Amino acid sequence: METKRFVGKVAIVTASTQGIGFGIAERLGSEGAAVVISSRKQKNVDEAVEKLKEKGIEVLGLVCHVSNKEHRKNLIQRTVQEYGKIDVVVSNAAANPTTGGILETPESVLDKLWEVNVKVGILILQEAAPHMSKGSSVVFISSIAGYHPQALLAMYGVTKTVLLGLTKALAAELAPDTRVNCVAPGFVPTHFADFLRRDEGIRTEIESKTLLKRLGTTQDMAAAVAFLASDDASYMTGETLVVAGGMPSRL
């Protein structure tokens, strides 16, 4: 990367050993940040750390199941022990354990969706906020589904809608020292959205609904996050940036 907006910065990216999370960590690290990545599985952490180190990126990899209180505490404590501060937190962890209508969703699934997609982001910030530097930045990863929850992904979409409001509320709470923004990705063919790679018909249909006639990439999302987390967006807080190829979101 020619741009080096994060030299001397420390960035935590949750759920970041593959897909959009890994792309974000790679972009921030390529621009000079020391990145702290995490995943539930040690094997995934080790593989991602190796890939980033091969690119000359300073990286700390930790096992972190975001629903585990001790894992969350360790994520923050180890980051502070290693680097002494936190400049960027990207809340990327998400779950979508089922498809179907909201009124058909079991309570246990509702609890998991709420916990992973919403509550965990708050709990991590409760741990991280005391260590965040002046001028720091938080970026939540929402979804285009937060604007238009689809029938089979309705409750997942609703949890992503919540992040839009959470971004507004936390921007006010953490101002003026920490900015809080959000990225709402469109459809990106990752392991999390494996149906986009398996079903050519669904892929083609979604592509036809975008003005740019293509799906998003992890690099598209990483570029948006890097912008919001950088000083280039120093007068932006409480905002959601939709990165969905022109799919309908709002006026």
Q: How many CB atoms lie within 10 A of CB 184?
A: 26
Cβ atoms of 13 and 92 within 8 Å: the answer is yes
Q: What is the pLDDT of residue 100?
A: 82
Q: What is the pLDDT of residue 177?
A: 98
Catalytic residues: 156
* Model pTM score: 0.94
Name the pLDDT band for 207 (thresholds 50, 70, 90): confident
Sign of the alpha-carbon dihedral angle for 213, 206, 19, 71: positive
Within a domain: residue 5? no
pLDDT class for 201, splitting at 50, 70, 90? confident
Report whether 39 contacts 45 (CB < 8 A).
yes
CA 70, CA 223: separation in Å to the nearest integer?
31
Write down the pLDDT at residue 122: 98
pLDDT at residue 1 tops 80: no
Does residue 204 fall inside a structural domain?
yes
Tell me the mean pLDDT in the region 209-238.
96
Question: What mean pLDDT do residues 114-128 have?
Answer: 97
Q: How many domains does the chain have?
A: 1
pLDDT given for residue 169 in this prediction: 98
Q: Is residue 251 part of a domain?
A: no
Q: Is 48 exposed, middle or buried (0-12, 13-18, 19+ CB in 10 A)?
A: buried
Would you say residue 4 lies in a domain?
no
Tens of pLDDT, residues 141-151: 999 999 988 88
246 residue type, one letter = G
- Tell me the C-alpha distance between 32 and 48, whole Å: 17
Domain of residue 224, CATH code: 3.40.50.720
Q: What pLDDT does residue 145 have?
A: 92
Please report the pLDDT score of residue 85 as a whole number: 98
E strand or H helix at 30, and its extent? helix 19-30
Average pLDDT in the 49-71 region? 97
The overall average pLDDT reported for the chain is 94
In whole angstroms, what is the distance from residue 200 CA to residue 202 CA? 6
Q: 249 lies in a domain? A: no
Q: Is residue 3 part of a domain?
A: no
Residue 192, pLDDT above cutoff 70: no
- Whether residue 248 is contained in a domain is answered as no
The verdict on residue 2 lying in a domain is no
Residue span of the structural domain in which 163 resides: 10-243
**More confidently predicted of 100 and 134:** 134
